[in-house]
Structure 1
Amino acid sequence: MTIFVDADGCPVVDIAIRVAKENNIKIVVVKNYAVELNDPYAEIITVDISNDSADYYIVNRIKPGDILISQDYGLAAMGLAKNAYCINQNGLFITEDNIGEILNRRHIHQTLRRKQNIYTKFRKRNPQANEDFEESLKKLILSIS
């Protein structure tokens, strides 16, 4: 088992690395060259800054039974197609049962933003979200080990 992290804009990279290290699991963090990241335990892969470079790198290497951490639901759908386990930065398990609804909701919101020129302001991430993510990741690792 390997954990893959889509690190571009991911607020839980450090938590994922720490949990992987605690469980002696290989972790591959994929980022573009604009993101500064160093860790002696994780394998850090730097890709081009162009759209979806990190996504393509991950999809071409992820295997059944691996874990994907991403807030990109399109990437999550591709990970599920390769029989990987997917979790987002808030600890939501992305599965075959909910990916269709998640992608549909994403499409509707993108369409509304384009038509109405409305853009969402993201709230500041709170410590509880980090705790929820960590608990979910540990639970996922335990369930598939």
Structure 2
Amino acid sequence: MTTVPTIVVDADACPVKREIIDVARIWSIPVLMVASHDHRLEAETGVQIMQVDRSDQSVDLYISNHISKGDIVVTQDFGLATIVLSRGAIALSPRGQQYDDSNIDYLMERRHELAKRRRGGGKTKGPKAMTSEDRVCFQQKLTKVLRSWQENDEP
């Protein structure tokens, strides 16, 4: 029998924590929420909470040092997604986009270009507000990933 994946959440600004917990319960998959001490998270059955210091990359470093191949990481951070992919884990955005080798380079380049524009005094738009459709899309994608894991890895 293969190892059960853990859903690891970059929880500082994750808008789909409840959706993750609900899907994980259906599949009996453990969840690890990682956030800085600035964010208050409540432990629940099947959900482990790890609070780290508030320095800039603490959550990312904790996640990158504690994931295993096959884990599922939910993050909005393209840099963390790159590390996750290099470790053999699956990376999903809170809107249900799966980061992979076909899109991560473009996303990182776009992030760099927007940061350059902001440093030069330009303005950029932030992400649009989460909708109920975004939440459903995320749940469907997470369920699809878990179904694929079950079909391909379990005996």
Q: TM-score, normalised by structure 2?
A: 0.89
Which residue matches 2:38?
34
User: 1:20 is aligned with what amino acid?
Assistant: A
Unpaired runs of 5+ in structure 1? none
Which residue matches 2:49?
44
* Structure 2 residue 138 is the aligned partner of structure 1 residue 128: no
User: 1:135 is aligned with what amino acid?
Assistant: Q
Q: How many residues align?
A: 145
* Structure 2 residue 114 is the aligned partner of structure 1 residue 74: no
Which residue matches 1:7?
11
Distance 2:149 2:113 in 1: 33
Distance 1:64 1:8 in 2: 23
Q: Which runs of 4+ in 1 moved over 4 A?
A: none
TM-superposed CA distance for 1:134, in Å, is: 0.6
TM-superposed CA distance for 1:121, in Å, is: 4.3
Q: TM-score, normalised by structure 1?
A: 0.95
Which string of whole-angstrom CA distances, capped at 9 and with x for unpartnered residues, describes residues 51-97 of structure 1?
Answer: 01011101001011110100001000000000001100110000112
Distance 1:99 1:33 in 2: 29
CA RMSD of aligned residues (A): 1.1
Which residue matches 1:24?
28
Which string of whole-angstrom CA distances, capped at 9 and with x for unpartnered residues, describes residues 25-75 of structure 1?
Answer: 011000111111113120000000110101110100101111010000100
Which residue matches 2:153?
none
* Structure 2 residue 112 is the aligned partner of structure 1 residue 107: yes
> Residue 115 and residue 130 in structure 1: after superposition, are their counterparts in 2 closer, same or farther (change >3 A)?
same
Distance 2:124 2:109 in 1: 18
Q: 2:59 aligns with which of 54, 63, 66?
A: 54
Distance 1:94 1:123 in 2: 19
TM-superposed CA distance for 1:6, in Å, is: 0.3
